[in-house]
C-alpha cells in the first residue's frame, strides 16, 4: 500500500484516541523506516500543551497488528508495575500506551490501517551512533534492566510476531537454498563469503539445541537492541527507557546482548567498504558488558552469562548470512542504495565475526570480570 495513502486517515485516527485537548499540530517524527510516526500536539481548555507519539503500524511487515499490540500492552503494564514498586517514574521509564475511545490499544481506520499512540517522553535523546562510551554503557544498563524487570514475565504467552526471527538454523537452511538456486549467477563471485559461512555450520544450531535441552531459558526479548532504541535522559545522562517494542517476542537473552554488541561495538558503519576499518572494539564490548551485567543482577543463569560472547558472535554471523542470502536472491528484503550494497554489509559482519574469534579469550575475560 502506498504510504501516503496509508496515512491519509491520520485525522480519523487522532480523533479516535482518548487524548487530552484539541489537536493543534501533527508532524512526521523520528527516523524509523517501517512504521509511520507522528508527533501530535494538543492544547486543553487551560492552555496546557500535551504531546503524543502516533504511529501507523506497517501491517505488511507485521501481519497481525492486534497480536503485536497485545504483546506491547502486556509487557509495558508489567514494566510499569515493577517501576512503581521500585519507586521509579513509570511515565518516563517505560512506554505508556493510550487507549482508543472504545478502550482498545489500537485503532483500525476506515481503509484498514492500524494505529497506536503513546505518551511523548520529553527531555531525552536517542543516539544513532556511539558518540561516547558512556552512551553505550547506559544502553547496556537499559537493556539489562529490561531483562531484569521482565525476568518473571511468562515469555510463552507472547505472540511470535515474526516467525523464526532469530532461528539461526533456519536462516542457514534459507542461505543454502539461495546458494543452490543462485538466481542471478552471483555465487561464483562470493565463494569466499559462502565458504566462510559454511565453515561455521555447527554454530548455527548451538542456541536452538541449548533451548531445547533447557540449558538456556526462554525469555522476553526485544530483538532490536540498537543504541538508538534507548532514550538517554538529557539532564542525568542515564539510560531511561527502551523504545520500539514491535519485535518483543519469546527469545534468548544472549541474542539481545549480542545484537547490541554487533551494532554498537563495531568501529565502522554497517556498510563500510574498506574492511580495514572494521573491527570489534574490545573496550566498547567491555563498557556494554559492564552496564548490561550490572543491571541484570542475578536475573541471568550461569549458562546465559557464559554464552554472552557467543551471543555476540552468532548475532553478527546471522546478520551477515542474511545480507548474503538477500544479495544472492536479488536484494529483495533489505533496501539497497547502490549495487552490491548487501554484499558490502555482509562483508562487514563476517569481518566482525573473524575479529571476535581472534579476540575470543579477551571477550570471555571481560564477561568473567563482571559476572
Q: Percentage of the chain with pLDDT > 90?
A: 89
User: Does residue 34 carry a pLDDT above 90?
Assistant: no
Instruction: Report the 3 state secondary structure along the chain.
Output: CCHHHHCCCHHHHHHCECCCCEEEEEEECCCCCCCEEEEEEEECCCCCEEEEEEEEECCCCCCCHHHHHHHHHHHHHHHHHHHHHCCCCHHHHCCCECCECCCCCCEECCCCCEEEEEECCCCEECCCCCCCHHHHHHHHHHHHHHHHHCCCCCHHHCCCCCCCCCCHHHHHHHHHHHHHHCCCCCHHHCHHHHHHHHCCHHHHHHHHHHHHCCCCCCEEECCCCCHHHEEEECCCCCEEEECCCCCCEEECHHHHHHHHHHHHCECCCCCCCCHHHCCECHHHHHHHHHHHHHHHCCCCCHHHHHCHHHHHHHHHHHHHHHHHHHHHHCCCCCCCCCCCHHHHHHHHHHHHHHHHHHCHHHHHHHHHHHC
pLDDT (average), residues 203-216: 97
As a whole number, the mean pLDDT across the chain is: 95
250-290 confidence digits (pLDDT tens): 999 999 999 999 999 999 999 999 999 999 999 999 999 99
Per-residue pLDDT at 96: 97
pLDDT mean over 302-322: 98
pLDDT tens by residue, 107-140: 999 999 999 999 999 999 998 888 899 999 999 9
Buried/exposed code over 179-192 (b: 16+ C-beta within 10 A; e: otherwise): beeeeeebbeebee
- % of residues, the chain, pLDDT over 70: 99
Select the more confidently predicted residue: 293 or 5. Answer: 293
Dihedral in degrees, nearest 10, Cα atoms 184, 189, 191, 196: -100
Quickly state the pLDDT bin for 214 (edges 50, 70, 90): very high
Contacts 24+ apart (CB under 8 A), 174-183: 174/325, 175/321, 175/322, 175/324, 175/325, 178/324, 178/325, 178/328, 178/329, 179/328, 181/328, 181/329, 182/328, 183/328, 183/329, 183/330
Mean pLDDT of 167-189: 97
Q: Find residue 23's DSSP bridge partners.
A: 42
Q: Per mean pLDDT, which of 31-40, 320-329, 332-341 is the most reliable?
A: 320-329
**Quick one: pLDDT band at residue 33, thresholds 50, 70, 90?**
low
Residue 1 has pLDDT above 80, yes or no: no
Alpha-carbon gap, residue 312 to 42, rounded angstroms: 43
Q: 12 pLDDT exceeds 90?
A: yes
Higher pLDDT pick, 32 / 148: 148
Residue 5 has pLDDT above 90, yes or no: no
Amino acid at each position: 500500500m502506498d504510504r501516503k495513502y496509508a496515512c491519509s486517515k491520520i485525522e480519523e485516527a487522532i480523533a479516535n484516541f482518548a487524548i487530552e485537548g484539541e489537536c493543534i499540530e501533527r508532524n512526521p517524527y523520528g527516523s524509523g523506516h517501517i512504521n509511520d510516526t507522528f508527533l501530535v500536539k494538543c492544547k486543553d481548555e487551560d492552555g496546557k500543551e500535551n504531546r503524543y507519539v502516533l504511529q501507523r503500524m506497517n501491517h505488511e511487515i507485521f501481519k497481525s497488528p492486534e497480536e503485536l499490540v497485545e504483546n506491547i500492552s502486556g509487557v509495558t503494564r508489567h514494566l510499569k508495575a515493577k517501576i512503581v514498586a521500585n519507586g521509579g517514574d513509570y511515565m518516563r521509564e517505560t512506554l505508556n500506551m493510550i487507549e482508543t475511545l472504545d478502550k482498545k490499544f489500537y485503532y483500525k481506520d476506515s481503509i484498514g490501517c492500524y494505529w497506536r499512540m503513546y505518551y511523548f517522553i520529553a527531555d531525552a535523546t536517542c543516539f544513532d551512533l556511539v558518540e561516547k562510551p558512556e552512551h553505550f554503557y547506559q544502553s547496556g544498563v537499559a537493556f539489562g534492566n529490561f531483562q531484569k524487570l521482565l525476568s518473571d514475565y511468562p515469555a510463552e504467552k507472547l505472540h511470535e510476531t515474526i516467525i523464526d526471527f532469530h532461528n539461526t538454523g533456519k536462516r542457514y537452511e534459507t542461505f543454502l537454498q539461495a546458494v543452490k538456486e543462485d538466481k542471478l549467477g552471483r555465487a561464483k563471485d562470493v565463494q569466499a563469503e559462502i565458504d566462510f559461512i559454511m565453515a561455521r555450520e555447527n554454530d548455527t544450531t548451538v542456541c536452538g539445541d541449548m533451548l531445547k535441552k533447557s540449558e538456556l531459558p526462554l525469555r522476553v526479548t526485544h530483538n532490536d537492541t540498537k543504541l538508538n532504541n534507548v532514550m538517554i535522559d538529557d539532564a542525568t545522562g542515564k539510560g531511561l527507557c527502551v523504545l520500539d517494542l514491535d519485535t518483543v517476542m519469546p527469545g534468548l537473552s544472549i541474542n539481545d546482548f549480542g545484537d547490541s554488541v554487533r551494532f554498537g561495538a563495531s568501529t565502522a558503519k554497517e556498510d563500510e567498504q574498506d574492511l580495514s576499518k572494521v573491527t570489534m572494539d574490545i573496550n566498547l564490548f567491555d563498557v556494554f558488558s559492564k552496564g548490561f551485567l550490572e543491571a541484570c543482577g542475578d536475573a541471568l543463569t550461569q549458562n546465559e552469562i557464559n554464552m554472552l560472547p557467543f551471543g555476540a558472535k552468532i548475532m553478527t554471523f546471522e546478520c551477515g548470512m542474511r545480507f548474503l542470502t538477500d544479495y544472492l536472491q536479488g536484494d529483495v528484503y533489505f533496501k539497497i542504495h547502490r549495487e552490491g550494497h548487501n554484499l558490502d554489509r555482509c562483508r562487514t559482519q563476517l569481518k566482525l565475526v573473524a575479529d571476535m574469534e581472534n579476540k575470543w579469550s579477551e571477550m570471555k575475560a571481560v564477561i568473567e570480570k563482571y559476572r
